[in-house]
Amino acid sequence: MNFMSITNSIRAQIPPIHPEGYPFIGGFALASLILFWIWTPLGWIGTLLTVWCALFFRDPVRMTPVRDGLVVAPADGRVSMVSEVMPPAELGLGDKPLPRISIFMSVFNCHVNRSPVTGRIDRIAYRPGTFINADLDKASEDNERNSLVISTPNGLIGVIQIAGLVARRIVSFVREGQTIGAGERFGLIRFGSRLDVFLPEGTKSLVSAGQTAVAGETVLADFKLGDGGRTWRAD
């Protein structure tokens, strides 16, 4: 009984893996076996890389506040910039600077991306580009990216997946016209990148540069600052 309890406790601490990661983890594991056959120390290096790959594709349960008016972080990582800039033309959000919150994901962060708001996906726009360091401001304009425009009662929200120096693949799980809930998974980026969130004009950010964000949990903005009564959903 005690053994089963310990086993269950250990399992509870291991987050599930997103299905997108299985081929990569399997590839790393196979390479590790081959490296063990060639030279044991190389095999152990391969094993460490296999564990890292599994951690990269982890998909933990998140507790998302679901009260109307909240904007939650779409990605795990460091808030790298909070500023007002012109939104990319493909978003169709106008020709005036809008509040933008950028979250940089290192290769050690969970890379499953979650919707910042509840709403309807009005537009999905993919744009090819370069692969410079996603932590740089110009990456928003030059790098490969995939953009979503989500319509909400509080205005249009732009969410941009930006490929980085290492990232070579942006994966989307959603389609135009789909309704999505705050905290629901909409895509991921392999391996290391950035998420930009564009908010309606005049929206005040509740985070600052340097802060750590947790996808689906950290509140970036609140259109109803005077209201209370947040509820939560596990996903």
**Catalytic positions, written as ranges:** 193
Assess contact for 134 and 163: CB atoms under 8 A: yes
Q: Any bridge partners for residue 146, and if so which?
A: 126, 161
Number of C-beta neighbours around residue 185 at 10 A: 18
Q: At what angle do helices 22-38 and 40-56 cross, to 10 degrees?
A: 170
DSSP structural state of residue 10: H
Say which amino acid occupies 135: D
E strands within 24-132? Answer: 63-65, 70-72, 77-85, 98-105, 112-114, 119-127
Query: Rounded distance, CA 175 to CA 223, Å?
Result: 26
Q: Encode 72-107: b = buried (16+ Cβ within 10 Å), e = exposed.
A: bbbbbbbbbbbeebebbebbebeeeebbbbbbbbbb
